[in-house]
Amino acid sequence: MSTKRNALGRGLSALLENANTDITSNQLEGEGKGKVVGAVANIEISCIETNPFQPRTHFEEDALNELAGSIKEHGIIQPITVRKLGYDKYQLISGERRFRASQLAGLTSVPAYIRIANDQAMLEMALVENIQRENLDAIEVAISYKRLIDECSLTQEQLSQKVSKQRSTITNYLRLLKLPVEIQLAIRTGDIT
């Protein structure tokens, strides 16, 4: 008679004790990069850190409070997007306004898509998602383009392909960063358009 005990009846963890099921964004490259890992998951807000690559630097307090009120009334209609950093640790890719408003609304968890993304893919997704909204100011867009070029070692031509903008548009945005700080500030506040 064998002394080895069968896994049957010992729970699911006995069957999976040698399986590596904790996929983080750092483990997958190539084909898996950028893909959604599964369906929408409810993630504790305390387990999510903000996106260090967030191109948006200013969040209107009144607009956040209005969104928080809407979230209290109707819930979060569009899930945020995160990447997994480790066990119960996530980093926001997109949806920071919804994330902040959820905190204001007193939620403890939020619905989220979990994507596989390295730093470069995360920066690209955050930039593209925000630029397509067209409510970033021109300086925020220029800074984001500059970060993509510097941190991802891209040429202006490669960047133009990634964000579906003409190379001349990229060049013109980058020129804004050479303006005096006072003029850049006026652009950011909308005094100059």
Tell me if 25 is assigned to some domain. no
| Over residues 157-186, mean pLDDT | 93
B/e letters for 143-159, b = 16+ CB within 10 Å, e = fewer, are: bbbbebbeeeebebeeb
Q: 145 and 111 share a domain?
A: no
Which of the listed residues 83, 117, 151 is the one where a domain comes to its end?
117
Structural domains counted in the chain: 2
The answer to whether the pTM exceeds 0.75 is no
Q: How does residue 25 score in pLDDT terms, banded at 50, 70 and 90?
A: very low
Q: 142 and 103 share a domain?
A: no
Neighbours of 109 (CB within 10 A): 15
Calpha distance 113→137 (Å, rounded):
27
* Predicted local distance difference test score (pLDDT) of residue 37: 60
* Predicted local distance difference test score (pLDDT) of residue 183: 93
Q: Which range of residues forms the domain containing residue 172?
A: 137-193
pLDDT higher than threshold 90 for residue 193:
no
| Over residues 116-137, mean pLDDT | 77
Calpha distance 100→78 (Å, rounded):
14
* CA angle (27 as vertex; 120, 14 as ends), nearest 5: 150
Q: 41 and 109 share a domain?
A: yes
CATH of the domain at 100: 3.90.1530.30
Which of 70-74, 125-129, 182-186 shows the lowest mean pLDDT across its residues? 125-129
Tell me if 160 is assigned to some domain. yes
Q: Decide if 96 is catalytic.
A: yes
Task: Out of 17, 31, 96, 140, pick the active-site residue.
Answer: 96
Which of 1-5, 61-65, 165-169 shows the lowest mean pLDDT across its residues? 1-5
